[in-house]
């Protein structure tokens, strides 16, 4: 198990390095930042001096090296807009995003699992059909539309919930619900099909031969087997959620990292964009490492690979 | 004078264990096939028997060039083919075809029978469409199916019929050698006889040569002229089918034959019971690989690997210290 | 022959499978009757589609969802199993009635340890726990010749070979001392020498625990090894049944005869063609009237296609259902 963890850790580190290269290249691809930042009438010498000051005239590998050294110290430079260290800005907005993402994750996993199990047990019933149709609907509707519709219904028409902002728990209800819809659907469908497959398997037949009750079989054996693909899915789900908050934060004016990123893209605030992407990526890589470990716990077959 | 159609010389196939990439070259190896040699005369059948992990399936894959050999040579009609590429390889593939074990997974369920059977021909690109149609109809008739089956899908047929389709496919390029990998073990008993008879008829009709891989000794002994018994990557005994089945000499062969289920309620002589499990192919026991389970193991068996040499005068070879005492050789 | 009331009495059992769309009905078991005395070993021989596995599953009450028992009775120890509630059947299963499945590699849950799965019936039916449970489990594993049993309890199925797994499955099946054990193709997925070892084990378990055994197989050799009596099934019906020697020496039904004749024997020399049974196995949802074997039978007569023959007694305990036999 330990060797398995080390292997996954090694892969995670390599991925982080890969991400750093991509971030570095991508931010340099979008054009010469000097021209954007300097006034229109700057002379060539002023431009050259500015470039030199930003270190943009050094060869690429030197730039990359400096880039890596800097980010290792947490230095992404200062935000061009806010004149604060980019990393501080990013980190200060991160908790709000995580609030939404994690809540949606937990909610969607629990509900998806539950509905998926019930759906599988009641295969062919009205419940099963309804669950499947609703899943497809949920996965097909764009999240910003759903968000806006929910605001219209619950905030504007019914006045049950606030329209936007983040001043308390009640403000989380609509955005988390919107975020969670797609993962609930995906988890439900995967759980259902994994359960059905499992319940058909020969070892379940043997479990029945032993005299174990159907409930015991479902909750001890089938569920754990169904968790295998669901765990695999959760890595993707987390990625989807953390990325998806960008849109939701816009719709609900939620002061999180997503909102900051959109803003930074529009204002070409490179240091913040870089910092945001880097932080998000590392975070996701760590989360996926966690998922991998969880996988090893659930499925003994991968441990001894 | 019958010619040697296929000859395997000192075939070895070692699979490195562990992850690819950053590891050293001294990774532990699974010696799936460890110095296997045999000859096949044209028009005859060679049966390779053994249990799980003995290397028989890997040997078949080497012959089919589905895996590359780690060492050794494969000679087809005198020409080396183990490293052939391009045109030479395509030529070899023309001559050597296969029929696999599971009739349910060896046919693409989305293809019609005529396309399944004709696929090798279409891949070679040598025949015109009308010619192919006629040839497919002929092949289906030859394997005992109605030519109208050409337009149907595999799931419309039973296991035995599907295996016939697989055989038709195997014959479509008019090969000279067909590798049969457990061709009947997934079929019902009553169908097995049909398919075995069919294979024999086809062999006579088209002068085919067979290499048959199986773990069912009765089937192999019935169908094949020569039997090779494998254990953990090595051949332990090889000889004519009659000789080996009537009087097996190597202890493993003896155990294998005596483990066969009786044809009658009290029909068999007392069984040779083997102790223990089949050892892992990664760390085979030193000396003779079989010594850990052999009822006649001697001290020398633990240390020196017995050579595969002729024993007796019926043309067979075996690797056992009991049969070729070390002292005798000098 | 043991006297007294039979342990198991199956009377005119009929089990059907409904296809998903409700259109076709497969008569998987079509009027099967037989008895099993205590301590006896019965073989049910047939090919795929014969109904042998469905018969076994009907007895244990573990039919797949689409299948239903539509007629007949099954008496076990005097009680009618078909009249029992699901809960009562559950209590019998694993304790008095048990079963071994064909492929050991898929009989166990890959995610749980051997110990966890071996403990389940013991906890359920015997309420064992703690040290007593562990002791019983290691005893059971030793009884089936598993080396280092304590270590095995913590291992997972994928770490073991097929032969060892099948023995563990055997240990689980007999863990609560059942009276009846059904082995469904227990050796089909195993290598020859491992097969032989496992049959030894079954024999040994049967003798030491006075088990009554039903062995479902397509292999006459397995039956010859273990069984006192056999019944041959075809298309859901029993075509012949009798003591093992009788069936081997004096088969009367054309299907039995053909099946025995089509088995290759390595020690047989000369004649290189095997005797075959022409045609294909029947489509169980569209069985013709009369005897289901008629389309393939070498001795068929007109009556065979019209009416199913009754059981005709050939000798003590030996019956066959065939018009040719009847005529004689």
CA angle B321, B327, B329 (to 5 degrees): 85
Amino acid B70: pLDDT:
92
**Cβ-based contacts of A202 with chain C (< 8 Å):** 101-103, 106-107
Amino acid A30: pLDDT:
63
Amino acid C2: pLDDT:
47
Does residue C133 carry a pLDDT above 90? yes
Cβ A202–C172 below 8 Å, yes or no? Answer: no
Q: Which residues are paired to B321 by β-bridges? A: none
Q: Does residue C216 sit at the A interface (CB-CB below 8 Å)? A: no
Q: Does residue A41 sit at the C interface (CB-CB below 8 Å)? A: no
Amino acid B124: pLDDT:
78
Q: What is the DSSP pairing of strand C97-100 with strand B317-318?
A: unpaired
Q: What DSSP string describes B2-50?
A: --EEEEEEEEEEEEE-S-SSSS-S---EEEEEEEEEEEEETT-EEEEE-
How crowded is residue A305: how many other Cβ atoms within 10 Å of its Cβ?
10
Mention every residue, 6+ apart, whose C-beta is less than 8 A from residue B305: B287, B288, B289, B319
Q: Where residue B269 falls among pLDDT bands split at 50, 70, 90?
A: low
Does residue A2 carry a pLDDT above 60? yes
Cβ A206–C112 below 8 Å, yes or no? Answer: no
Whose CA is closest to B93, among B12, B165, B177, B6?
B177
For chain C, give the secondary structure using H, E and C: CCCCCCCEEEEEEEEEEECCCCCCEEEEEEEEEEEECCCCEEEEECCCCCCHHHHHHHHHCCCCCCEEEEEEEEEECCEEHHHCCHHHHHHHECCCEEEECCCHHHHCCCCCCHHHHHHHHHHHHHCCCHHHHHHHHHHHHHHCCCCCHHHHCCCCHHHCCHHHHHHHHHHHHHCCCCCEEEEECCCCCCCHHHHHHHHHHHHHHHHHHCCEEEEEECCHHHHHHHCCEEEEEECCEEEEEEEHHHHHHCCCCHHHHHHHHCCCCCCCCCCCCCCCCCCCCCCCCCCCCCCCCHHHCCCCCHHHHCCCCCCEEEECCEEECCHHHHHC
% pLDDT > 70, chain A = 94
Whose CA is closest to C221, among A208, B218, A200, B13?
B218
Whole-angstrom CA distances from B26 to B18, B232, B287 are 11, 21, 21
CA distance linking residue B119 with residue B169, whole number of Å: 8
Beta strands across the sheet bearing C25-36: C25-36, C8-18, C67-76, C79-80
**Contact residues, C window 120-159, toward A, CB-based 8 Å cutoff:** 120-121, 124-125, 156, 158-159
Query: How confident is the prediction for chain B on average, in pLDDT?
Result: 87
Amino acid C3: pLDDT:
54
The answer to whether B99 and B183 have CB atoms below 8 angstroms apart is yes
Q: pLDDT, tens digit, for every residue of C135-148?
A: 999 999 998 888 88
On the CB side of C77, CA atoms within 13 Å amount to: 9
Amino acid B190: pLDDT:
82
Amino acid A202: pLDDT:
86
Six token digits for residue B62:
């080497």
Q: pLDDT, tens digit, for every residue of A184-215?
A: 999 999 999 999 888 888 889 999 999 999 88
Q: Does residue B263 sit at the C interface (CB-CB below 8 Å)? A: yes
Amino acid B329: pLDDT:
47
How crowded is residue B37: how many other Cβ atoms within 10 Å of its Cβ?
16
B/e letters for B75-113, b = 16+ CB within 10 Å, e = fewer, are bbeeeebbebeeeeeeebbebbbbbbbbbeebbeeeeeb
Q: pLDDT, tens digit, for every residue of B116-172?
A: 999 888 887 778 888 888 999 999 999 989 898 889 999 888 888 999 999 999 999
Beta strands across the sheet bearing B29-41: B29-41, B4-16, B71-76, B79-80
Six token digits for residue B102:
């599971």
CA angle C72, C77, C79 (to 5 degrees): 50
Give the mean model confidence (pLDDT) for residues C296-301.
88
Q: What is the DSSP pairing of strand B209-214 with strand B177-181?
A: parallel
Domain count of chain B? Answer: 1
pTM of this structure: 0.83
The answer to whether B49 and B81 have CB atoms below 8 angstroms apart is no
Q: Virtual CA dihedral for C198, C203, C208, C211, nearest 10 degrees?
A: 110
Q: pLDDT, tens digit, for every residue of B297-311?
A: 888 888 888 888 888
Residue among A202, A213, A300 minimizing CB distance to C103? A202
Give the mean model confidence (pLDDT) for residues B26-48.
89
Q: What is the DSSP pairing of strand C318-320 with strand C212-217?
A: unpaired
Give the mean model confidence (pLDDT) for residues C92-101.
91
Residue among C108, C113, C173 minimizing CB distance to A203? C108
Q: pLDDT, tens digit, for every residue of B196-232?
A: 999 999 999 999 999 999 888 888 988 999 999 999 9
Q: pLDDT, tens digit, for every residue of A261-301?
A: 888 888 877 788 888 888 888 888 888 888 888 888 888 88
Q: Does residue C200 sit at the B interface (CB-CB below 8 Å)? A: yes
Q: Does residue B217 sit at the C interface (CB-CB below 8 Å)? A: yes
Best C161, C190, C192 residue to mutate vs chain B (most B CBs within 10 Å): C192
C-alpha distance from C57 to closest chain B C-alpha (Å): 20
**Cβ-based contacts of B146 with chain C (< 8 Å):** none
Q: pLDDT, tens digit, for every residue of A110-165?
A: 999 999 999 998 888 899 999 989 999 999 998 889 989 988 888 888 888 877 77
Does residue C1 carry a pLDDT above 50? no
Q: What is the CATH number of the domain that holds B263?
A: 3.40.50.300
For A73-172, where are the alpha helices, taking DSSP H only? 86-121, 126-140, 143-150
Does residue C311 carry a pLDDT above 90? no
Provide Rg for chain A, Cα atoms: 24
Amino acid B189: pLDDT:
82
Euclidean distance between the first and the last CA atom of chain B, given in angstroms as a whole number: 35
B132 is in which domain, residue-wise? Answer: 4-328
Amino acid A304: pLDDT:
65
Query: How confident is the prediction for chain C on average, in pLDDT?
Result: 88
% pLDDT > 90, chain A = 20
C-alpha distance from A203 to closest chain C C-alpha (Å): 4
Tell me the residue length of chain B: 330
Domains and CATH numbers, chain A: 2-72 (no CATH), 93-303 (1.10.3720.10)
B/e letters for B267-293, b = 16+ CB within 10 Å, e = fewer, are ebeebbebeebbbebeebbebbbbbbb
Q: Which helix or strand (DSSP H or E) is residue B231 part of?
A: strand B226-231
Does residue B192 carry a pLDDT above 70? yes
- Which is higher by pLDDT, C215 or B121? C215
Scanning the structure block, which residue is given the tokens 């457990």?
B182
Best A203, A225, A226, A229 residue to mutate vs chain C (most C CBs within 10 Å): A203
Cβ C124–A211 below 8 Å, yes or no? Answer: yes
Amino acid C75: pLDDT:
94
Amino acid C70: pLDDT:
93
Does residue B11 carry a pLDDT above 90? yes
Best A125, A196, A201, A209 residue to mutate vs chain C (most C CBs within 10 Å): A209
Reduced to 3 states, what is the DSSP secondary structure of residue A212? Answer: coil
Q: Does residue B133 sit at the C interface (CB-CB below 8 Å)? A: no
Scanning the structure block, which residue is given the tokens 């076709």?
C24
Six token digits for residue A64:
């990359």
Angle between helices B159-171 and B113-124 (to 10 degrees): 20
Q: Virtual CA dihedral for B160, B161, B165, B166, nearest 10 degrees?
A: -10
Whose CA is closest to C98, among A201, A212, A221, A216?
A212
Amino acid C179: pLDDT:
93
Mention every residue, 6+ apart, whose C-beta is less than 8 A from residue A34: A47, A50, A51, A54, A56
Q: Where residue B267 falls among pLDDT bands split at 50, 70, 90?
A: low
% pLDDT > 90, chain C = 48
The answer to whether B309 and B324 have CB atoms below 8 angstroms apart is yes
On the CB side of A100, CA atoms within 13 Å amount to: 36
The interface pTM score, or ipTM, of the predicted complex is 0.86
């Amino acid at each position: 198990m330990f060797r398995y963890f080390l292997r996954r850790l090694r892969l995670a580190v390599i991925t982080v390095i890969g991400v750093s290269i991509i971030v570095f290249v991508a931010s340099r691809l979008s054009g010469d930042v000097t021209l954007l930042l300097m006034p229109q009438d700057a002379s060539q010498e002023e431009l050259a001096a500015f470039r030199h000051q930003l270190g943009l005239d050094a060869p690429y590998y030197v730039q990359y090296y400096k880039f890596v050294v800097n980010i290792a110290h947490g230095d992404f430079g200062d935000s061009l807009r806010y004149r604060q260290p980019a990393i501080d800005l990013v980190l200060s907005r991160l908790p709000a995003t995580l609030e939404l993402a994690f809540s949606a994750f937990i909610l969607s996993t629990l509900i998806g699992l539950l509905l998926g199990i019930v759906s599988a047990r009641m295969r062919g019933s009205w419940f099963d059909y309804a669950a499947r149709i609703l899943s497809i609907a949920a996965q097909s509707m764009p999240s910003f539309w759903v968000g806006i519709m929910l605001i219209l219904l619950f905030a504007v028409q019914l006045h049950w919930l606030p329209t936007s902002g983040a001043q308390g728990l009640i403000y989380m209800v609509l955005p988390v619900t919107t975020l969670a819809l797609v993962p609930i659907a995906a988890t439900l469908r995967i759980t259902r099909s994994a359960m059905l497959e499992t319940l058909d398997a020969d070892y379940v037949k043997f479990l029945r031969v032993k005299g174990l009750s159907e409930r015991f079989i479902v909750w001890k054996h089938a569920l754990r087997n169904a968790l295998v693909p669901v765990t695999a899915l959760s890595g993707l789900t987390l990625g989807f959620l953390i990325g998806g908050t960008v849109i939701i934060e816009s719709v609900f004016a939620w002061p999180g990292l997503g909102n900051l990123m959109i803003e930074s893209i529009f204002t070409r605030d490179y240091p913040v964009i870089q910092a945001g992407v880097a932080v998000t990526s590392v975070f996701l890589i760590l989360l996926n490492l966690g998922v991998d470990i969880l996988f090893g716990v659930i499925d003994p077959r991968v441990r001894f690979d | 004078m019958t010619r040697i159609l296929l000859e395997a010389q000192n075939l070895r196939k070692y699979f490195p264990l562990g992850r690819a990439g950053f590891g050293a070259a001294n990774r532990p190896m699974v010696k799936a096939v460890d110095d296997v040699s045999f000859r096949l005369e044209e028009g005859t059948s060679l049966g390779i028997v053994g249990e799980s992990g003995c290397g028989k399936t890997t040997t078949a894959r080497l012959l089919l060039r589905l895996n590359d050999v780690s060492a050794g040579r494969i000679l087809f009609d005198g020409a080396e083919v183990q490293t052939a590429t391009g045109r030479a390889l395509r030529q070899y593939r023309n001559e050597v075809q296969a029929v696999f074990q599971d009739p349910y997974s060896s046919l693409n369920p989305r293809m019609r029978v005529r396309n399944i059977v004709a696929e090798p021909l279409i891949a070679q690109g040598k025949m015109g469409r009308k010619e192919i149609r006629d040839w497919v109809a002929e092949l289906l008739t030859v394997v005992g199916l109605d030519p109208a089956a050409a337009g149907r899908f595999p799931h419309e047929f039973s296991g035995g019929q599907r295996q016939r389709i697989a055989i038709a496919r195997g014959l479509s390029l008019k090969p000279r050698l067909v590798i049969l990998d457990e061709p009947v073990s997934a079929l019902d008993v009553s169908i097995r006889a049909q398919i075995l008879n069919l294979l024999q008829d086809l062999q006579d009709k088209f002068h085919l040569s067979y290499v048959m891989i199986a773990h069912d000794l009765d089937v192999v002994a019935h169908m094949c002229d020569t039997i090779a018994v494998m254990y953990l990557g090595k051949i332990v005994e090889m000889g004519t089918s009659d000789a080996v089945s009537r009087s097996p000499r190597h202890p493993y062969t003896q155990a294998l034959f005596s483990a066969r289920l009786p044809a009658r309620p009290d029909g068999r002589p007392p069984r040779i019971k083997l102790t223990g499990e089949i050892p892992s192919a990664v760390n085979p026991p030193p000396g003779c690989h079989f010594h850990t389970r052999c009822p006649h193991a001697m001290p020398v068996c633990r240390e020196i690997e017995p050579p595969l040499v002729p024993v007796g005068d019926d043309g067979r070879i075996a690797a056992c210290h009991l049969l070729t005492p070390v002292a005798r050789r000098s | 022959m043991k006297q007294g009331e039979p342990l198991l009495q199956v009377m005119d059992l009929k089990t059907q499978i409904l296809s998903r769309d409700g259109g076709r009905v497969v008569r998987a078991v079509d009027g099967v009757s037989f008895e099993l005395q205590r301590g006896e070993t019965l073989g049910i021989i047939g090919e795929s589609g014969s109904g042998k596995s469905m018969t076994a599953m009907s007895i244990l009450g573990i039919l797949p969802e689409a299948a239903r028992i539509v007629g007949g009775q099954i008496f076990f120890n005097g009680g009618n199993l078909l009249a029992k509630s699901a809960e009562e059947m559950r209590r019998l299963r694993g304790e008095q009635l048990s079963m071994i499945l064909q492929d050991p590699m898929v009989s166990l849950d890959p995610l749980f340890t051997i110990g966890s799965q071996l403990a389940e019936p013991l906890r359920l039916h015997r309420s064992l726990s703690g040290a007593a449970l562990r002791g019983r489990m290691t005893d059971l594993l030793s009884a089936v010749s598993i080396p280092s049993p304590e270590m095995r309890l913590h291992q997972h199925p994928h770490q073991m070979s097929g032969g060892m797994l099948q023995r563990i499955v055997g240990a689980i099946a007999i863990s609560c001392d059942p009276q009846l054990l059904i082995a469904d193709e227990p050796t089909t997925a195993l290598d020859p020498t491992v097969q032989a070892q496992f049959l030894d084990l079954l024999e040994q378990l049967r003798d030491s625990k006075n088990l009554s055994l039903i062995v479902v197989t397509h292999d006459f050799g397995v039956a010859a090894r273990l069984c006192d009596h056999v019944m041959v099934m075809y298309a859901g019906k029993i075509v012949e049944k009798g003591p093992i020697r009788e069936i081997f020496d004096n088969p009367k039904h054309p299907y039995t005869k053909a099946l025995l004749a089509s088995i290759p024997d390595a020690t047989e020399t000369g004649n290189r063609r095997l005797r075959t049974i022409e045609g294909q196995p029947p489509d169980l949802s569209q069985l013709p009237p009369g005897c289901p074997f008629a389309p393939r039978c070498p001795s068929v007569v007109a009556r065979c296609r019209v009416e199913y023959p009754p059981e005709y007694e050939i000798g003590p305990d030996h019956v066959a259902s065939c018009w040719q036999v009847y005529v004689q």
